[in-house]
Amino acid sequence: MKSILKKEKIVRPIKRTAEAIRPAAPYLYGAIAIGMLLFILLDLSIRDREPDWSTWILLETVIAMTAGGMAYLSVRTRKNKPSLDAISRLLRANNLKPIDEDKDENTILVQTPDAQTTYAFLFDDPQFFLRYPFYCSGDLQKARAAAAEVMDQRFMVKICVEQTDDPQNNLFVNIAIETTLQRMDLLQEILPFYLRIVNSAAQLFLEKFETPDEPAACRRTGIYDPEYRWFPMLVETISNGKIALEALADEDWLRTNIQQICGEAFVQEWNAFRIKSINTYGNYKLFVYEFPEPREIPEARYGAVWIETLSRQAEYYTLEYSLDNRWVLGSMTREQHANYGSIDTPDLKRFILWILESNKEPECCLKRRSEGVEPVN
């Protein structure tokens, strides 16, 4: 464990530094070239001698290599820079045929090969939006309730339902994913995943909308509420000094309190609750908890509290079961849920290493809705 952690601490800063300097690489090449030329010329002037043929060859080699490197990086950077034209080419390569391109609005409308589904792609540098709009008919309040339940179970998506004047298709539904796009190669990797997300959300929305009395059985509140409501509330209470920090290390006390609120049907499952580890890192402590085995999206496999013992500033993290058997790296407060991406297995070591990373950037943050409604996940 220590060797893995040590390796991650060394490699990850190098990767982050490489990503940060990528846009400035051509300028760095130029600076290096000028520096080398000045050094050689200064060396010649100090030694007070005329440059021989080998020196001129060295100078020309440095200039040629630098110019070539700058040209290559400049072309590569331009090719990888997101633009509406580059996005349009990528969509065609994925068998999505553009049917309308409004350059003023930075929007591309595309259809699937069977012309049954239409997507809208909007790029307002650096913001990128994937939207799946469609019409249906029915009760507006039922549709909005179905949309709220889908947003609870499909991370990243936002669903908007509006009333129209058409009596046959009186509801307009827009399912959207928003992200920040810096490189085209990144979009090429995530586009198929984003399309699966919005398609799955649309299918789930229609299922819940057409059968409004059934979705309640999909949410196991006796598991969800302790993981996403009670623990964030406990962390906030400890941060405020109203409960002792030692409570986070009292497994029996935690289990007893959870079983008092989870409901009789879930008491047996919460017997599986365990403290997996407690580690100290200077003034920080990391408490890792094992939750009952997840059965439904978005139940969590593990939860963790990262707390600074002097100030009691704390954060609560979760490893959540999600779509396509992926596991979301998330954080939860009483105000919002944040999604930091996903991993392919519920690997506890990877979860802990991720928590120990600095400069974590969420892919999506969703505010918790009003009281009495489940928080977004």
- Give residue 370's pLDDT: 44
Triad 215, 219, 224: Cα angle to 5°:
165
Closest CA to 109 of 82, 86, 132: 132
Which pTM does this prediction carry? 0.49
Q: CA 135 to CA 150: how far, in whole Å?
A: 17
Confidence (pLDDT) at 110 = 87
Say which CATH architecture domain 84-217 belongs to.
2-Layer Sandwich (3.30)
| Structure tokens, 325 | 């058997």
CB count within 10 Å of CB 275 equals 15
pLDDT (0 to 100) of residue 85: 83
User: Tens of pLDDT along 136-173?
Assistant: 888 888 888 888 888 887 767 899 999 988 888 889 99
Rounded alpha-carbon distances, angstroms, from residue 153 to 20, 171, 208, 299: 34, 22, 12, 9
SS (H, E, C) the chain: CHHHHHHHHHHHHHHHHHHHHHHHHHHHHHHHHHHHHHHHHHHHHHHCCCCCHHHHHHHHHHHHHHHHHHHHHHHHHHHHCCCHHHHHHHHHHCCCEEEEEECCCCEEEEECCCCCCEEEEEEECCEEEEEEEEEECCCHHHHHHHHHHHHHHCCCCEEEEEECCCCCCCEEEEEEEEEECCCHHHHHHHHHHHHHHHHHHHHHHHHHHHCCCCHHHHCCHHHHHHHHHHHHHHHHHHHCCCCCHHHHHCHHHHHHHHHHHCCHHHCCHHHHCEEEEEEEECCEEEEEEECCCCCCCCCEEEEEEEEECCCCCEEEEEEEECHHHCEEEEEECCCEEEEEEEECCCCHHHHHHHHHCCCCCCCEEEECCCCCCCCCC
Q: How many CB atoms lie within 10 A of CB 36?
A: 16
Please name the amino acid found at residue 206.
L
pLDDT of residue 295: 92
Angle formed by the axes of helices 184-210 and 140-153, nearest 10°: 130
Where the chain has pLDDT below 50, the residues are 1-9, 11-12, 15, 103, 212, 214-218, 369-377
Rounded CA separation 231/217 (Å): 23
Residue with tokens 């019409």: 135
Q: What is the pLDDT of residue 3?
A: 45
Amino acid 273: pLDDT: 97
